[in-house]
Amino acid sequence: MLTLDIQEPATRFIKRLPKKQAGQIGRKLQALLTQPYPPDRKDLSGFPLALLRANVGEYRIIYQMYGDTLVVVLIGKRNDSDVYRRLARMFR
């Protein structure tokens, strides 16, 4: 069984969301724990870590598999590139 590790930036983002959207993200995270490589995921390139992206509603979940731990690095809006700018800043 995988364990879930949500990093601080993702936790802060979830706490600011309305209850409905936070629930959608929570359900997607539970689904990722059972199927960490779903067919709708995308591998991200250009970062020093092997990062994956999963979409849920209007949000993107950026995560990585580290052994038997699913590490949620960042969550952001899907229809703008802010999540990628924030991710790039994390790896400077």
Q: Are 51 and 62 in contact (CB under 8 A)?
A: yes
Residue 80 has pLDDT above 80, yes or no: no
Domain residue ranges in the chain: 3-90
Residue 29 has pLDDT above 80, yes or no: yes
Residue that has been written with the tokens 């601080």 in this structure: 8
Residue 9 has pLDDT above 90, yes or no: yes
Average of pLDDT values for 1-28?
A: 95
What is the average pLDDT value for the chain, to the nearest integer?
Answer: 92
Distance CA 24, CA 33 (A): 14
Counting every residue written for the chain, the total comes to 92
Residue-level pLDDT at 71:
96
What is the per-residue pLDDT across 34-73, written as a single tens digit (0 to 9) for each?
Answer: 999 999 999 998 887 889 999 999 999 999 999 999 999 9
- pLDDT confidence of 20, banded at 50, 70, 90? very high
Name the CATH topology of 3-90.
YaeB-like fold (3.30.2310)
The 3-state secondary structure of the chain reads: CCEEEECHHHHHHHHHCCHHHHHHHHHHHHHHHHCCCCCCCEEECCCCCCEEEEEECCEEEEEEEECCEEEEEEEEECCCCHHHHHHHHHCC
